[in-house]
Amino acid sequence: MINVFQPSLGADELQAVREVFDSNWLGHGPRTAAFEEEFAAHLGVPADRLTFINSATAGLFLATELLGLGPDDDVVMPSISFVAAANAVASTGARIVFCDVDPRTLNPRVEDVQSALTPRTKAVLVLHYGGHPGDIAAIAQLCQDRGVLLVEDAACAVASQAGDRACGTFGDMGMWSFDSMKVLVTGDGGMLYVRDEETARRARRLAYHGLEQSSGFAAARVSHRWWELNVRDFGRRVVGNDVTAAIGRVQLRKLPEVIARRRAITEMYDRLLDDSEGIRLPPRLPEGHTSSYYFYWIQVDPRIRDQVAADLLNRGIYTTFRYPPLHRVPAYRGAVDLPATAEASEATLLLPLHQGLDDSEVRVVVDELRKSVEHRQCSTG
Ligand SMILES: *Cc1c(COP(=O)(O)O)cnc(C)c1O
């Protein structure tokens, strides 16, 4: 089976985990602090703005809490978002206003966000589809002009930049996912960025029972009445740990290699599929943008999309579509009309893209895809 996504962990990650076992310190400690520092350097932000957490979903819930969202607030987000983003907003009682996207990039355009703003809009929550930065700089400017907070679900954008700025750092908060199908994998894990220093400190407390966190061995050193609790907030327990941080540090070191391979596969698809009838390629990255190459997506006639996916599955090639529009799922169904979202979600198919794919597998995917599209198009007429 050729998987659509797949992690790549090996001897180096295993060795790092062995060292954690040998150290006998498994919880969040020195490796967590080191991972936060290294990831901060990777993003170009101060390390004290980051908290290593156990998922991007936890980061989304923390963010909506830190924003102080409530029933009087609106939050604008694309309907093509991961469900956790909507769940986090809904949990606060705030109202979600879904916006449309560009039908080719599946990212919201600045005008999509703008037309969804209401007098009650407190925040905008966007993602970077497939790792492409999209209109993030313009959206950040719009939010600033309107006095609206901006959260970036940068789960897919671990190495994405618009200009010299990392995706996830354009707004007030951002979060990355290190779950097992992402580009940088720790098993489960995530990073939360909070721009404001004081709010970042609160984020760290909220991630750990509301306790003032002093990490690792420092906390184990006996001080006066060290067993007392210093609780200032009602917190959760969503921190990462030194096992996952140790894996993350190795994966972060390998990230440039991984991105280079994903980019090469993307370029190979672009080249081999270029003249294929009935197959639309993903839009090129604008000048100055870099991607994490998380998704490679094509678009075909909506009438054959699912048949093509079934044909490929029969040939041992797994494809999928992310993210099915939320305004169509029961919990978030609404009367809103989003034509480009509807169009894109019926036509788009994600092809296998991960660093474990070799060139011959990419060729197999391309051959089978072309065959299927040709065959299905004939029978559709
Ligand atoms: C994977 C993903 C998430 C969730 O990340 P977890 O770490 O699994 O909680 C959120 N948003 C987007 C866009 C994702 O792709």
**Token pair for residue 23?**
């150290």
Check pLDDT > 70 for residue 295: yes
- Angle at CA 58, nearest 5°, toward 124 and 119? 20
Do 243 and 330 have their domain in common?
A: no
CATH number at residue 294: 3.90.1150.10
Q: Which of 51, 54, 57, 320 to mutate to test the pocket of ligand 1 (most atoms within 8 A of CB)?
A: 57
DSSP string, 271-332: HHHTT-TT-BPPPPPPTTEE-----EEEE--TTTHHHHHHHHHHTTB--B-----GGGSGGG
Closest-CA residue to 63 (of 227, 229, 210, 200): 200
53 lines ligand 1 (CB under 6 A): no
**Token pair for residue 300?**
């075909």
82 lines ligand 1 (CB under 6 A): yes
- Which atom of ligand 1 is the closest one to the Cα of 60? 10
56 lines ligand 1 (CB under 6 A): yes
Q: Is 256 helix (H, G, I), strand (E, B) or coil?
A: helix
Strand order in the sheet with 121-127: 50-53, 190-194, 173-177, 149-153, 121-127, 74-78, 95-99
Q: Where are the beta strands (DSSP E) in the chain?
A: 50-53, 74-78, 95-99, 121-127, 149-153, 161-162, 165-166, 173-177, 190-194, 289-290, 296-299, 348-351
- Is residue 298, in this structure, part of any structural domain at all? yes
84 lines ligand 1 (CB under 6 A): yes
As a whole number, mean pLDDT of residues 12-39 equals 97
Do 53 and 202 have their domain in common?
A: yes
- Ligand 1 centroid to 177 CA: how many Å? 5
Of 202, 236, 251, the position where a domain reaches its end is: 251
Whose alpha carbon is nearest atom 8 of ligand 1? 179
- Is residue 1, in this structure, part of any structural domain at all? no
As a whole number, mean pLDDT of residues 145-151 equals 98
As a whole number, mean pLDDT of residues 225-231 equals 75
- Ligand 1 centroid to 60 CA: how many Å? 9
State the residue range of the domain holding 289. 256-380
The β-bridge partners of 126 are 152
**pLDDT of 244-266, one tens digit each?**
999 999 999 999 999 999 999 99
Q: Where are the beta strands (DSSP E) in 188-270?
A: 190-194
- Is residue 108, in this structure, part of any structural domain at all? yes
Of 251, 269, 303, the position where a domain reaches its end is: 251
Do 222 and 351 have their domain in common?
A: no
Do 181 and 264 have their domain in common?
A: no
Q: What is the pLDDT of residue 216?
A: 47
- How many helical (H) and strand (E) elements, i.e. helices and strands, does the chain have? 12, 12
- Which atom of ligand 1 is the closest one to the Cα of 177? 7
As a whole number, mean pLDDT of residues 212-235 equals 68
Closest-CA residue to 193 (of 244, 229, 150): 150
CA dihedral (65, 107, 157, 142) positive or negative = negative
**pLDDT of 199-220, one tens digit each?**
999 999 999 999 886 544 455 5
**pLDDT of 37-47, one tens digit each?**
999 999 999 99
- Is residue 168, in this structure, part of any structural domain at all? yes
Looking at the chain, the whole-number percentage of residues with pLDDT higher than 90 is 92
The owner of tokens 């954008």 is: 157
Round to whole Å and give the CA distance between 78 and 190: 22
Round to whole Å and give the CA distance between 312 and 66: 44
- Ligand 1 centroid to 205 CA: how many Å? 22
Residue type, 13: E
- Is residue 19, in this structure, part of any structural domain at all? yes
Do 243 and 289 have their domain in common?
A: no
CA 341 to each of CA 162, 262, 287, 337, 352: distance values in angstroms, whole numbers, following the listed order? 23, 26, 25, 9, 22
Whose alpha carbon is nearest atom 5 of ligand 1? 56
Do 343 and 329 have their domain in common?
A: yes
- Which atom of ligand 1 is the closest one to the Cα of 182? 1
Q: Is 101 helix (H, G, I), strand (E, B) or coil?
A: coil
Round to whole Å and give the CA distance between 117 and 131: 25
**pLDDT of 100-130, one tens digit each?**
999 999 999 999 999 999 999 999 999 999 9
What's the total number of domains in the chain? 2
- Which atom of ligand 1 is the closest one to the Cα of 181? 1
- Is residue 99, in this structure, part of any structural domain at all? yes
- Ligand 1 centroid to 182 CA: how many Å? 8
The model's pTM:
0.96
Do 101 and 240 have their domain in common?
A: yes
Do 176 and 271 have their domain in common?
A: no
CATH number at residue 154: 3.40.640.10
Round to whole Å and give the CA distance between 322 and 305: 13
Contact (Cβ atoms closer than 8 angstroms) between residue 208 and residue 239: yes
Q: Residues of 291-329 as b/e, b for ≥16 C-beta within 10 angstroms?
A: bbbbbbbbbbbeebbebbbebbeebebbbbbbbebbbee
Do 129 and 237 have their domain in common?
A: yes
Do 210 and 281 have their domain in common?
A: no
Of 198, 227, 251, the position where a domain reaches its end is: 251
- Ligand 1 centroid to 170 CA: how many Å? 18
- Is residue 3, in this structure, part of any structural domain at all? no
As a whole number, mean pLDDT of residues 33-61 equals 98
179 lines ligand 1 (CB under 6 A): yes
Mean pLDDT (the chain, rounded)? 95
190 lines ligand 1 (CB under 6 A): yes
- Angle at CA 359, nearest 5°, toward 357 and 365? 75
- Is residue 6, in this structure, part of any structural domain at all? no
**pLDDT of 160-202, one tens digit each?**
999 999 999 999 999 999 999 999 999 999 999 999 999 999 9
Do 326 and 339 have their domain in common?
A: yes
Contact (Cβ atoms closer than 8 angstroms) between residue 102 and residue 126: no
What angle separates helix 30-43 from helix 242-273, to the nearest 10 degrees?
30
Do 223 and 89 have their domain in common?
A: yes
